Amino acid sequence: MKTILFSAVWLCAAAALASAFNPLHHSGPAAPYFDAPSQAGIPKEIPEGCVVDQAAYIVRHGARYPEPGSYTGWISLYNNLQNSSTPYNVSGPLAFLKTWVPPVDDPAHMPLYLSGVGALESFQLGVLLRNKYKFTPGGGNLTVWSAGQERVLATAANFLRGYLAQGSYVNNATLNRGSIVSMPDSVNWTSADSLTFTNGCPNYSKGDKSGPMKSAWSALWQPRVAARLNSLYVTGNLSFTGSDVSVMGDLCGFSAGVDGDTRFCDIFTPSEWLDYEYGNDLNYYYGSGPGNPFAGTSAWPLVKSISDLLVAGPGKTLAPGTFTPSPLIMSFTHDNDLPPVIAALGLWNSTVGVYPLSNSTRSPDRDFRSSYLVSFRGYVALERLNCSSPSASSRKGTYVRVQANSAPIPIPGCTSGPGSSCPLDEFSAYVQARQAVVGEFVSTCNNTAANATQGAVVDFFMNEDWEGSMSRGQRILLGVGDLVGLGS
């Protein structure tokens, strides 16, 4: 009986320890989606006495197979394991590497494309938001906007299938239908009127200092991990390098998102995972976040467009609009297009003594965490709160709150509303004032495109001339059961 009792206690303690630290919650852009923890003590729930009557989401695509460059790293690790000239042995958390095979069985097709987990993440988001907001009645339709690459379009399509999955309207082609406005991807002539707006900002790449910052950090921690692994778990003619450590870190999140294999997640210690995560934080902070002086510039017109929609309220068409957006405004894009939104809003960059981020010492008190923003299916959401029922925790009025992966983020100097939200009129003024901080798009970005004078305006949410405008592309219609070709 004592042995059984001891075993039960040990298992409970082990389970508690495992739940205390999850490497997938520190895997940056390789992490399958997870809800970020609450920040600054702000509850995630909609404040008492309030309802969300309008919401705008900017969403990264769901989990995908690796990019070709990353896949090359996987193959290099595999070849190193298979082609060792003399026998070797790996033990402990590395033992599985003797038989490990990269989880890509169609290399010519799979890289860059959405995985099954990514499709599921997208579908689940659709179901979640349909039930959370109850904006769309049975038979209602929804239009969403998407960057043009296949994995982003597939995310948008699976979101719509989840959002519209309630009921069957196969006999009426006008009901329960989704529209995807597929916008040009990775082009510069769209200026700011795009979901890949950084491509319209020539100075953006000049402000990207992520390479040397992350490289300096990688040179500190990766060789240290390689030495630990080699001394503890490797015998014979095999030696892991810092580059191998980088690949192993990426494979934790990617393998989990491709085929559910989490064995790579057991290789690093919690402290090493925090070092891995910090490398990704440096990459995004200095590459596409507040550490790039042109990141906020590139995203400000999109933020201003959303702010104007929230001020107008649900069901309103803004000039020169010909289209009335749904109360749920959904746009889908890439990981590098989310940190600029945070930068444009002036978030996660205000703690004295923390920013700019050090490339030699991990900053434990930083707010900027790539894992909480650019995980697969990560998002920035802006919710308009209509608080009409007075209570102990809310006041009558209209407010805005910003979320990243479900966690509300306080807006600097504007947290007087319920749940630390920002009064709508103050939010509008705050966004307008941010332009003076980040700079006007055309001049600050040095945009010389033919449409540069219009380049600072984002109106694709309101203008239905999607086919006719050079900044808008194909409109795709689909029902829940439709099979739609989504080639890029």
Active site residues per annotation = 61, 335
Q: Which of 198, 190, 210 has its CA nearest to residue 445?
A: 198
Residue with tokens 């017109």: 301
Task: Tell me the C-alpha distance between 84 and 286, whole Å.
Answer: 38
Q: Where are the alpha helices (DSSP H) in 41-115?
A: 68-82
- Which two structure tokens, joined as six digits, stand for 369? 């965490």
Peptide bond just before 320 cis, omega within 30 deg: yes
CB 64 within 8 A of CB 380: no
Output the DSSP codes for 430-478. HHHHHHHHH--HHHHHT--STTGGGTT---TTT---TTTSTT---EEEE
- Which two structure tokens, joined as six digits, stand for 139? 């038979």
Output the DSSP codes for 111-140. TTSBPHHHHHHHHHHHHHHHHHH--S-TT-
Task: Tell me the C-alpha distance between 79 and 437, whole Å.
Answer: 50
In single-letter form, the type of residue at position 482 comes to: D
Output the DSSP codes for 219-262. HHHHHHHHHHHHHHHEEES----HHHHHHHHHHHHHHHHHH---
Task: Tell me the C-alpha distance between 449 and 363, whole Å.
Answer: 40
- Which two structure tokens, joined as six digits, stand for 439? 């700079």
**How much of the chain is in helix, strand and coil states, percent to nearest 5?**
45, 15, 45
